[in-house]
Structure 1
Amino acid sequence: MTIKIVDLFSGAGGLTFGFKNNISNGFFVKDNRFEFVFANEYDPFAAASFRENFSDIPMLEDDISKLDIDYFKKNKLDIENVDLIIGGPPCQSFSTVGKRQYDNRAKMYREYRRLLSIIKPKMFIFENVLGLLTMKNDNGIPVIDDVIKSFQSIQEFGDVLGYTVHKEVLNAQDFGVPQSRERVFLVGIRKDLVLSTDWEYPTPLIGKELVTVSDAISDLPKLANNEQKTNYKSKPKTEYQSLMRGSEKRLRDHISANHGHRIMKIMEAVIEGEGKDYINAQVEAGKLPKELFLTSGYRNTYGRLWWNKPSTTITNNLSTPSSLRCIHPKQDRALTPREGARLQSFPDSFKFIGPRTRINTQIGNAVPPLLSLALADSIYNFYTNNFKK
């Protein structure tokens, strides 16, 4: 049984990865249970990364608003009998970090819904940030209510079909990812389908300790400010590191940012688990020079991660201490793209295309692959119980 998938707002392919791979004997292996009709991504660097890692999936690098029946016919894409659409529209507008705006990016779920009305998949998976639960639209209505209601009935596009929508908040750390990352997932099931079982979200791993930052990155070589290393200096130290490294011999994207003198002094002073407030308290106590006093940023900015805990949420600013907690627990520098990828559960074999800042964006915006694997298993089990072919 093969499940046909369309992948929207794919990014570099974090969500895609879980439907293309599985784990066997401690290694990632190819999964043939799913077949991708096409993927769509507008950002050229993310699209290039997607092509690099999923060369067998047609990538439509174009504005999603251009995708319609004529577009699919022109590109000879068979959208008949698609089983599943996956994807998460741009989430920055919903994020609780920074300025929240109900702008065009926040309304991109309407394009997702429009394609549901054209392709009519049996199911969809819609992913977004936790801020979607508290953001309000122009009429003061919670955006999440607007989104769910719009999926329940898509008559706006002249289609009588709608979806029964199941909402759940999943934390990546409960699925083997070394990062506390809560995201909203909506799973929709077409209302006209006769079901023999109910949808169930993947169950968090029970009885297993959370994977920590140390478990994830302690095998990677030390770096100074503005330094890069391309060779592993030690063997994997944990089961997680072995999974991430696989058979890779070359270390990619392990390069530290070039921090200025003031930022270096701040990073040298901040201790594990502390951040902006700690630095300011040290200045006020006369233990640090006044020029290090921080007048902007949130409480977790200029923050050092904990070594023996999962990381806090990785974002596209994972190498910028002034933006969030991203200072290495044991070294006086911010995370490298490869460390960010490890904390997101991207294997070391995954190749990102673009300059460092654009790679960080691809990593920070992604669904963690290990969480995606759990979702893929739940989808497949649901399909085999309800839609046997």
Structure 2
Amino acid sequence: MSYSTSYTSFANLPIDGLHSPMSSVTSDSESSLSIGKTRLTLLDLYSGCGAMSTGLCLGANFAGTNLQTRWAVDLNSFACESLKLNHPHTEVRNEDAENFLMLLQEWEKLCKRFSLIGTQSYFDDGCMLNDDDEDDLEDSSEVPKGEFEVGKIVGICYGDPAKLSKVGLHFKVRWKGYGPSEDTWEPLDGLRKCQERIKDFVTSGYKRNILPLPGSADVICGGPPCQGISGFNRFRQSDAPLQDPKNKQVVVFMDIVEFLKPKYILMENVVDMLKFARGFLGRYAISRLVSMNYQARMGLMVAGCYGLPQFRMRVFLWGALSTEVLPQFPYPTHDVVIRGGCPNEFESNVVAYDESQRPTLEKALLLGDAIRDLPPITNAEKRDEMPYDQPPITNFQRMIRLTRDELTGSRQVGAKSSKKACLFDHRPLELNDDDYQRVCAIPKRKGANFRDLSGVRVGEDNVVEWDPEISSVYLPSGKPLVPDYCMSFIKGKSPKPFGRLWWDETVPTVVTRAEPHNQVILHPEQDRVLSIRENARLQGFPDYYQLRGPIKERYIQVGNAVAVPVSRALGIALARAVVKDCGSGALFELPPGFQQHELTSLNNLDAIEAVAETK
């Protein structure tokens, strides 16, 4: 391989004077839209609610590659519910990645045992069985009372699902004469007399492609959590990061890659991955890929550079087999100034134009561009669905309102939609009475926060102090209007507690918690925190994307997600690599219309529908 310090790139070398797969067959400015679509399967590890895979598929589809999220794995049950709701054809598994890896290994053994490897699956033919098809096959004959007979196997996992301290391979049993509510998880050694039932399940599961086998997942993406590197962790093991159990998921991620051997991988993580212990975990991830004969390339991308009103810098690591083209990183499309955020040693990994280039970029998006068209709501809003009360104002708002069919191109021009557009999850975390009254007291102007409340003044060195000339103000509950934690936060120097955002600002990053005690998350003109939907818009989620779970859990899903426009741009990079439409450098310019192509088709559709209605 060749190695370049620019974007820490390990790539194929030219062979016998010929160009390597990295050589361009077309110019960087050309897109691959005219090339017939190639179909690829995707496994989304640590998937959350599916933002990373959603963006990758949207981008790849736009660039001529049919990328399908076939499998997804996450430990958060609510995130799995959200993903399944928005991607009903995806096999979503609610389990930890280590058990998933063990399951994959056991699944391969079962498929070999029943001589299935090498035979054709239904998925290969483009059709899939679903749970309803299996239910049609259920034996409904009665069983004498008190007797239990295995009707069929309906699920498989590795672990201890029955909480009986028996870790191993388990099957979910549908008992003959009983319904799904009586299903139980049974260990393999307890089903020795049910080999035919097991064979039937494995054969059906193989045909339906319920689990990936080595070589069957073309792409693996994911963001393995590394809580051990968090600055909030006082017990970080900087001398031996991989000995900390909180950092082991990056090892598990690479172990799954090693077992499944996909053509491409894309890993995402926080910038602390390169800050903590001189970037040990980032270096480890690259070294694992290279040791497995993968090409690798690492970049730091800023979400605001791709059309969002938040900064949010993250690390992305591409991997590609030596037989494939290593994907590039997309140049920014929006004029966002990138200052700091990454260690000096990795400054050359920031995805940006260099100082000698003078690109024409779109203006940076602001908060008002993204959320000002949303209906007003109160702190006590309870509706999960509501209609829009005004048309979109900005191009971003028009694009974010597109339906799934319009985004994927499956809605035909001239075909009028039978559904009215609906807004989901536009409700805030309801504050308690004390915090709500504090929020109501914050002025509705730019820069307002707890420092504007009665009894607070700013002394020397920007440190807050109590104003001795003003009596303390108390709430009806008897608690102070200004809590002590506001005065002491970051030694009294922080203006963040109960801070109000403003329309002409950008957000540093969307957070997972919606409490205003130490964050600037208040709506500019309404007495509440930003709603789930407003946070989702700051992350680029289409308005059609629905979330499941308690309110706090939905905030967590959105805050942990990869910004959708970023993953969508990376989806285009992947599609270009698949069809070998790449230049020799590490970066490429996104095709014309990356941001506006949906709007163009939608405008045409609106015009056609308007003409049809007049007739």
Which residue in the other structure is 2:368 paired with? 214
Residue identity matched to 2:511: T
Is 1:245 aligned to residue 401 of structure 2? yes
Distance of 1:164 and 1:383 partners within structure 2: 14
Unaligned runs of 5+ in 1: 154-160
On the 8 A contact 1:342/1:348 being kept in 2, the answer is yes
Distance of 1:277 and 1:113 partners within structure 2: 48
By how many angstroms is 1:31 displaced?
A: 7.7
By how many angstroms is 1:32 displaced?
A: 5.7
Distance of 2:422 and 2:279 partners within structure 1: 50
Is 1:54 aligned to residue 185 of structure 2? no
TM-score of the two chains, using structure 2 as the length reference = 0.55
Residue identity matched to 1:304: R
By how many angstroms is 1:361 displaced?
A: 0.8
The structure-2 alpha-carbon separation of the partners of 1:231 and 1:194, relative to structure 1 and needing over 3 Å to count, comes to closer
Distance of 1:332 and 1:219 partners within structure 2: 17
Alignment of 1:1-389 (within 5 A): 1-22=38-59, 33-66=66-99, 67=101, 68-71=104-107, 73=111, 75-76=205-206, 77-79=211-213, 80-96=215-231, 101=236, 103-136=244-277, 142-153=280-291, 161-190=292-321, 192-193=322-323, 195=325, 199-205=327-333, 206-228=360-382, 230-246=386-402, 249-267=421-439, 268-269=441-442, 271-273=445-447, 275=449, 281=457, 284-285=466-467, 289=472, 291=480, 292=482, 293=484, 294-295=486-487, 297=489, 299=494, 300-317=496-513, 319-385=514-580
Deviations 1:182-209 (A, max 9, x none): 111111223x4365xx642011105211
Residue identity matched to 1:214: G
SS, match of residue 254 in structure 1: coil
Residue identity matched to 1:303: G
More moved, 254-263 vs 59-68: 254-263
Residue identity matched to 1:350: Y
Which residue in the other structure is 1:156 paired with? none
Distance of 1:226 and 1:100 partners within structure 2: 39
The structure-2 alpha-carbon separation of the partners of 1:269 and 1:9, relative to structure 1 and needing over 3 Å to count, comes to same
User: Cα RMSD (Å) of the superposition?
Assistant: 2.9
On the 8 A contact 2:532/2:555 being kept in 1, the answer is yes
Which residue in the other structure is 2:152 paired with? none
On the 8 A contact 2:50/2:83 being kept in 1, the answer is yes
By how many angstroms is 1:276 displaced?
A: 6.0
Distance of 1:164 and 1:277 partners within structure 2: 52
Deviations 1:82-128 (A, max 9, x none): 33211101254444467574643322111101101101112211101
Which residue in the other structure is 1:157 paired with? none
The structure-2 alpha-carbon separation of the partners of 1:257 and 1:289, relative to structure 1 and needing over 3 Å to count, comes to farther
Distance of 1:110 and 1:239 partners within structure 2: 42
Residue identity matched to 1:378: A
Distance of 2:542 and 2:247 partners within structure 1: 30
Distance of 1:253 and 1:175 partners within structure 2: 24
On the 8 A contact 1:95/1:130 being kept in 2, the answer is no
Distance of 1:296 and 1:221 partners within structure 2: 36
On the 8 A contact 2:43/2:69 being kept in 1, the answer is yes
Distance of 1:194 and 1:383 partners within structure 2: 7
More moved, 140-149 vs 250-259: 140-149
By how many angstroms is 1:20 displaced?
A: 2.8
Between structure 1 and structure 2, the one with the greater Rg is 2
